[in-house]
Amino acid sequence: MQLDESKSIYVQIAEKIENDILSGALMEESQVPSTNQFAKVLRINPATAAKGIHLLVDEGILYKKRGVGMFVSPGAKIIVQHKRKLHFVNVELPRILHAALALDINKEQLIEMIRNSE
């Protein structure tokens, strides 16, 4: 995992786990790396790693088995997909539409570009 200086480390850890859930690298009920494992690999404070993991716990994506570790919640992939779709609709799509407008690309042209990119 390469860290990006433009984003908080704990957010990047949460996104990495989400990406692994979406890709199938982490399945429901599978154990996620511990905060100490993240801390060791990334050379960060374990509290920073814990903050990223607890973000996902708060969202219902991960849950804790006392004395064992953190695990992927049932339905986590659906939760992550829904979260990412909302982000796309509320953040990415307006950015794309704004850029298209600035370039005089109308909706029909944009749709055609999307169709041609498949």
How confident is the prediction along the chain (118 residues), in pLDDT tens digits per residue?
777 788 899 999 999 999 999 999 999 999 999 999 999 998 999 999 999 999 999 999 999 999 999 999 999 999 999 999 999 999 999 999 999 999 999 999 999 999 998 7
* 2 Ramachandran zone, left/alpha/beta (phi>0; psi -120 to 50): beta
What is the pLDDT, as a whole number, of residue 5?
Answer: 80
The position carrying tokens 């029909």 is: 108
Q: Which two tokens stand for residue 58?
A: 């708060």
* The model scores a pTM over 0.95: no
- Which 3 state secondary structure label does DSSP give 88? helix
Rounded to an integer, what distance in angstroms lies between the CA atom of residue 20 and that of residue 70?
14
**Which residue in 70, 61, 63, 69 sits closest to 19, CA to CA?**
61
The pairs formed by 63-68 with CB atoms below 8 angstroms and a separation of 24 or more are 68/31
